[in-house]
Amino acid sequence: MGLMWFCLGLIAGLSVFVASELHKRFDIDWRGWAGLGLGEVLVFFCIAWSVAAAAEGEPRSALMGIMMFGAPGVAVLALSSRLFVFPAERRSQS
């Protein structure tokens, strides 16, 4: 269980570093930051839920955690990055 918290801390630190690099390169409004933050929280909660449920011997709960928190977290991250973080790149390619 301690390894999970260590890995979540490393991933959280890496996500803060990536967010600071995104802030340097792109002009992100509040909707982009809210979407990125919500997506990260959902993915972190999914990882914590699934690892804890698997450690308790509840594989169905772990899979439900992935479906209920992981999939929406990835979807929110993808949509917010495409709509609010990188919209100029998308328009220039079309």
pLDDT tens digits for the chain (94 residues)?
788 889 999 999 999 999 899 888 888 889 989 999 999 999 999 999 999 999 999 999 999 999 999 999 999 999 998 888 887 655 555 5
Question: Structurally, how many domains does the chain consist of?
Answer: 1
Q: Are 44 and 77 in contact (CB under 8 A)?
A: no
pTM as predicted: 0.83
Structural domain that includes position 63: 2-93
Q: What is the DSSP string of 47-91?
A: HHHHHHHHHTT-HHHHHHHIIIIIHHHHHHHHHHIIIIISHHHHH
